[in-house]
């Protein structure tokens, strides 16, 4: 793992708190610090990662893109970038240099609420002193507007500092015999979909990078680059979720009448819960395939029981995420009528006349087919404990990068063709103290959500007593000064309210958050509450997604990601 590499001289935990979300990685990072690695944490809250860090940048939620542009400004203007790599392996550096002049540190500091000198110091710490690592935290995926450009800015930062595919830096790509395995995309046959059907993809006209237009532009330059495996972007084959809910309700661009929900508790996963509820209630047919009865399952016409992790074979990952293939065998046969995912889809496909596309009767047979080009059976991969890729650095020196120019495109020719800004930038959230000051007067707090709780996985395990006893109640963190002005004490039950709705939380007074910000936990439901409507296991009581808006206008206009933050007010319950 890159997190265990002592040659990483700096690790930036950007919206990533592995103490709660990834304890094994957290231990590795603490070991790196003991060996002298510098740690930078970027988070609106003083998390365990922030407490351990040499530097903590406490930014305003959703302003990550601006802060990243500030880093780029410092590193480029002070000449701290890897000049040899930039000259040989990047495209558009001069245009990037011009762009970052639009983000002087005093401007960035005003946007982000982080002092300019602290930004400068952190940028220097990252760029100077050896190879650095910036592991992916999911928060940049949840910014709404500016999501994609913020992630691009982060990738640009990694590139110009010479940290791509080097020892102690950012390993990427696949190598070795695992390249011969048959990947997810080949199994899923996305490319077999007729063009007429591709044009019907919901969101295709607006969110063009993560729909078929982007799929085709991203896949083409990946061909012939062996370490990019698979040479496809499966995420671009999906419909845009917020637009799907609206299609169900409005029939635009066409009616959506049926939905299969597999391993997803949509009433707690999706923002704008009231709209999602209305959409689910409007379907002619809804099917849920899951382990447990959840609030979402209670709205389904059919709930089909899923085989659990001991009752099914598994192979992961076969999608280019890690330089390793692992596999696990089924330990016991599924009890009662439980079906694993493969059986579920194969049996449905057979009834729809698609059996010829599913020649393998079981998941194990399908895995045998996938591993055959490597010369292994599924059973052999299980017994081997998985198949690692080879460790090969700077693979791009042989093959280039998977872009039209074969270089790291600081100025993206694909974005340009799709009609997007080819350079990273910052865009203010759709709702914020800056973009909607009148709304902020009524709802003065910036509401952040999504902090992980190590006893739960999103909405899972609330019904497991041994987990729940450690964290029995939904919490909202609020600064003591802000709480005092509202007459709120530690442990008081309070309401958070936005223009869309309200939810109830127990106040946790916490001086590691800005007085202008509150943080509410996500995915709360109460399995001990009544299951039937209107309760739905208490889904309306403390569900922070009731407060958040997934309006497509608020989403990232490139990939379609919706915001997990907004504005709210707080008052005692």
Residue 123 has a pLDDT of 98
Length of the chain: 573
Same domain, 42 and 106: yes
The per-residue pLDDT for range 503-521, each reduced to its tens digit, is 999 999 999 999 999 999 9
Q: Specify burial of residue 289 (Cβ count, 10 A radius: 0-12, 13-18, 19+).
A: buried
Percentage of the residues of the chain whose pLDDT score is greater than 70:
98
The three-class DSSP label of residue 289 is: strand
Same domain, 33 and 151: yes
Q: Residue 320: pLDDT above 70?
A: no
φ, ψ dihedrals at 65, nearest 5°: -60, -40
pLDDT-derived band at 543, boundaries 50, 70, 90 = very high
Same domain, 380 and 314: yes
Residue 142 has a pLDDT of 80
How many angstroms separate the most distant Cα atoms in the chain? 68
Angle at 456 between CA 61 and CA 508, to 5 degrees: 55
Residue 167 has a pLDDT of 92
For every residue of 211-240, DSSP letters joined together read: SHHHHHHHHHHHTT-TTSSSSS-GGGGS--
Are the beta carbons of 508 and 472 closer than 8 angstroms?
Answer: no
Q: Write out 234-274 in H/E/C secondary structure.
A: HHHHCCCHHHHHHHHHHCCCCCCCEEEEECCCHHHHCCCHH
The per-residue pLDDT for range 369-426, each reduced to its tens digit, is 999 999 999 999 999 999 988 888 999 999 999 999 999 999 999 999 999 999 999 9
Structurally, the chain folds into a number of domains equal to 3
In a domain, 97, yes or no: yes
Residue 317 has a pLDDT of 63
Q: Where are the alpha helices (DSSP H) in 35-82?
A: 48-52, 64-77
In a domain, 108, yes or no: yes
- Which CATH number does the domain housing residue 86 bear? 3.40.228.10
Same domain, 351 and 413: no
The per-residue pLDDT for range 416-454, each reduced to its tens digit, is 999 999 999 999 999 999 999 999 999 999 999 988 888
**How would you classify the pairing of strands 387-388 and 324-328?**
antiparallel
Q: Which residues pair with 12 in a beta bridge?
A: 40
**How would you classify the pairing of strands 285-290 and 517-520?**
unpaired
The per-residue pLDDT for range 132-143, each reduced to its tens digit, is 999 877 777 788
Same domain, 372 and 454: no
The 8-class DSSP code of residue 425 comes to -
Q: Quickly tell me which residue has 């304890």 as its tokens.
A: 23
The 8-class DSSP code of residue 167 comes to T
Same domain, 35 and 6: yes
Residue 516 has a pLDDT of 98
What is the Cα 188 distance to its own chain's centre? Answer: 22
Which of the pair, 2 or 336, is modelled with greater confidence? 336
Residue 391 has a pLDDT of 83
The pLDDT mean for the chain works out to: 93
What is the Cα 423 distance to its own chain's centre? Answer: 22
- Which CATH number does the domain housing residue 564 bear? 2.40.40.20
Residue 224 has a pLDDT of 79
Q: Write out 319-373 in H/E/C secondary structure.
A: CCCCCEEEEECCCCCCCCCCECHHHHHHHHHHHCCCHHHCCCCCHHHHHHHHHHH
pLDDT-derived band at 229, boundaries 50, 70, 90 = low
Are the beta carbons of 568 and 443 closer than 8 angstroms?
Answer: yes
Residue 230 has a pLDDT of 63
Q: Per-residue b/e over 531-548, b at no fewer than 16 CB within 10 Å?
A: eeeebbbbbbbbbbbbbb
pTM: 0.95
In a domain, 150, yes or no: yes
Same domain, 378 and 412: no
What is the Cα 112 distance to its own chain's centre? Answer: 21
Residue 6 has a pLDDT of 81
484 CB contacts (<8 Å, ≥6 apart)? Answer: none
Q: Residue 2: pLDDT above 70?
A: no
Of 48-57, 219-228, 288-297, the one with minimum mean pLDDT is 219-228
Are the beta carbons of 131 and 5 closer than 8 angstroms?
Answer: no
At how many degrees (to 10) do helices 64-77 and 105-112 cross? 160
φ, ψ dihedrals at 407, nearest 5°: -125, 170
256 CB contacts (<8 Å, ≥6 apart)? Answer: 202, 244, 247, 248, 283
- Residue 136: closest CA among 17, 264, 8: 17
In a domain, 123, yes or no: yes
Same domain, 350 and 412: no
In a domain, 200, yes or no: no
The per-residue pLDDT for range 252-275, each reduced to its tens digit, is 999 999 999 999 999 999 999 999
Same domain, 330 and 414: no
Q: Residue 321: pLDDT above 80?
A: no
Q: Specify burial of residue 288 (Cβ count, 10 A radius: 0-12, 13-18, 19+).
A: buried
The 8-class DSSP code of residue 318 comes to -
CA 10/CA 16 separation, integer angstroms? 15
Are the beta carbons of 228 and 165 closer than 8 angstroms?
Answer: no
In a domain, 297, yes or no: no
Same domain, 58 and 148: yes
519 CB contacts (<8 Å, ≥6 apart)? Answer: 44, 45, 447, 448, 449, 451, 476, 477, 513
E-strand ranges in 109-219 read 132-133
Same domain, 374 and 456: no
Residue 181 has a pLDDT of 87
In a domain, 335, yes or no: yes
Same domain, 412 and 329: no
At how many degrees (to 10) do helices 64-77 and 93-100 cross? 110
Q: Residue 90: pLDDT above 60?
A: yes
Q: Residue 180: pLDDT above 60?
A: yes
In a domain, 274, yes or no: no
Which residue range is the domain that position 504 belongs to? 437-572
- Average the pLDDT over 31-37 and give the result: 93
411 CB contacts (<8 Å, ≥6 apart)? Answer: 91, 92, 95, 96, 422, 423
Of 228-242, 473-487, 543-557, the one with minimum mean pLDDT is 228-242
Which of the pair, 16 or 110, is modelled with greater confidence? 110
Which of the pair, 453 or 108, is modelled with greater confidence? 108
pLDDT-derived band at 178, boundaries 50, 70, 90 = confident
């Amino acid at each position: 793992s890159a997190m265990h590499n002592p040659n990483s001289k700096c690790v930036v935990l950007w919206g990533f708190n592995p103490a709660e979300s990834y304890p094994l990685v957290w231990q590795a990072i603490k070991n790196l610090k003991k060996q002298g690695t510098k740690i930078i944490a970027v988070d609106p809250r003083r998390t365990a990662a922030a407490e351990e860090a040499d530097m903590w940048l406490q930014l305003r939620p959703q302003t990550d893109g601006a802060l990243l542009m500030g880093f780029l400004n410092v590193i480029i203007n002070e000449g701290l970038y890897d000049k040899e790599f930039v000259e040989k392996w990047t495209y558009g550096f001069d245009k990037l240099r011009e762009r970052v002049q639009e983000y002087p540190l005093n401007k960035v500091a005003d946007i982000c609420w982080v002092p300019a000198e602290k930004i400068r110091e952190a940028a220097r710490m990252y760029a100077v002193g050896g190879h650095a690592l910036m592991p992916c935290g999911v928060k940049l995926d949840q910014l709404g507007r500016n999501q994609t450009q913020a992630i691009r800015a982060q990738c640009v930062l990694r590139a110009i500092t010479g940290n791509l595919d080097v020892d102690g830096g950012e390993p990427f790509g696949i190598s070795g015999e695992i390249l011969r395995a048959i990947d997810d995309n080949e199994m899923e046959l996305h490319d077999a979909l007729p063009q007429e059907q591709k044009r019907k993809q919901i969101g295709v006209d607006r969110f063009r990078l993560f729909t078929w237009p982007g799929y085709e532009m991203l896949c083409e330059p990946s061909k012939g680059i062996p370490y990019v495996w698979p040479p496809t972007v499966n995420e671009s084959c999906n419909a845009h979720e917020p637009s799907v809910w609206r299609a169900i309700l409005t029939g635009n661009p066409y009616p959506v009448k049926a939905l299969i929900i597999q391993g997803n508790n949509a009433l707690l996963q999706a923002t704008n819960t009231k709209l999602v509820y209305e959409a689910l209630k409007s379907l002619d047919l809804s099917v849920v395939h899951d382990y447990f009865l959840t609030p979402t399952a209670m709205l389904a016409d059919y709930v089909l029981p899923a085989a659990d992790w001991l009752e099914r074979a598994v192979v992961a990952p076969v999608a280019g995420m890690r330089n390793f293939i692992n596999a696990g065998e089924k330990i016991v046969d599924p009890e009662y009528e439980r079906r694993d995912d493969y059986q579920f889809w194969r049996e449905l496909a057979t009834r729809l006349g698609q059996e010829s596309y599913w020649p393998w009767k079981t998941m194990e047979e399908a895995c045998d087919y996938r591993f055959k080009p490597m010369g292994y059976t599924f059973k052999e991969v299980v017994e081997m404990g998985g198949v690692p890729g080879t460790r090969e650095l700077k693979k791009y020196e042989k093959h280039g990068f998977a872009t039209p120019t074969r270089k790291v495109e600081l100025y993206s020719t694909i974005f340009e063709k799709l009609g997007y800004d080819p350079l990273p930038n910052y865009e203010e959230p759709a709702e914020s103290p800056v973009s909607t000051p009148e709304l902020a007067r009524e709802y003065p707090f910036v509401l952040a959500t999504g902090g992980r709780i190590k006893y739960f996985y999103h909405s899972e395990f609330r019904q497991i007593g041994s987990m729940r006893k450690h964290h029995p109640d939904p919490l909202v963190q609020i600064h003591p000064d802000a709480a005092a002005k509202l007459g709120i004490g530690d442990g008081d039950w309070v309401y958070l309210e936005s223009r869309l709705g309200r939810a109830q939380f127990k106040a946790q007074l916490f001086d590691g958050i800005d007085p202008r910000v509150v943080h509410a936990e996500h995915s709360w439901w109460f399995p001990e509450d009544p299951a039937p409507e209107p309760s739905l296991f208490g889904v309306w009581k403390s569900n922070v997604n009731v407060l958040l808006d997934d309006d497509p206008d608020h989403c990232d206009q490139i990939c379609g990601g919706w915001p997990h933050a907004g504005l709210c007010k707080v008052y005692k319950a």
